[in-house]
Amino acid sequence: MSMTFSGQVVVITGAGAGIGRATALAFAAEGLSVIVADVDVPRAEQTVEFIRAAGGNAHCVPCDVTRELDVKHLMEQVLLIYGRLDYAFNNAGIEIEQGRLADGTQDEFDAIMGVNVKGVWLCMKYQLPLLMAQGGGAIVNTASVAGLGAAPKMSIYSASKHAVIGLTKSAAIEYAKKHIRVNAVCPAVIDTDMFRRAYESDPKKAEFAAAIHPVGRIGTVEEVASAVLYLCSDGAAFTTGHALAVDGGAMAI
């Protein structure tokens, strides 16, 4: 299986922390130039510093993926800085809902759908023309195991991730003959800042989170990053429209 990348460019949203940062570091280690995009500029700049300290090439571009002008500017900067785009990892997302469906608010709905769905749609809207101009490429979107099934007390979040998978599959079919592959990663519980905020204050919740995975632990950001790199690599040249569970066996139950 080939994982070779040479002189290529990737743009990553939500790259200031967690899965986005780990994936940015992994792509840079493979020799790609990385556009690090995030609404949290200080954290995005820190990701760039880590990449450059390791000898890689990266630039920070502030971006709120819910704002079309921000996304358009992001892609303009990709061309201005590097002159090309080969891969995109649309990873920016939020998870703020913890309650039954009837207890949700319109503000929660709008916020979750705005980032998780509209943000992915806007990014692909502006990435696809660049990839077509380049002759092809690959996009990976961050969905979730919550997009592969039910997620009690997270119904809006679950709906948003089902929507990401729908966008992914539809784009994959529409652009297959343009040599553009579009896939999604669907992580289960991953050791991120979000996880620590939600679970580490309650050891019983953390134990339960580990126990729902047949492998007996939660995942790491590096494991998700490896899946993203695979989906962008030549090793996945015949894979498009796929929602890849990175879940320690959780969806096999």
Which residues are designated catalytic?
Answer: 157
Q: Report how far residue 199's alpha carbon sits from residue 212's, in angstroms, rounded to the nearest whole number.
A: 14
- Residues 130, 135, 137, 143: is their CA dihedral positive or negative? positive
Residues comprising the chain, all counted: 253
3-class SS of residue 246 = strand
Q: E strand or H helix at 132, and its extent?
A: helix 119-134
Give 30: exposed, middle or buried? Use CB within 10 Å, 0-12, 13-18, 19+.
middle
Q: Report how far residue 174's alpha carbon sits from residue 132's, in angstroms, rounded to the nearest whole number.
A: 12
Amino acid at 5: F
Query: What is the phi/psi pair of residue 243, to 5°?
Result: -110, 100
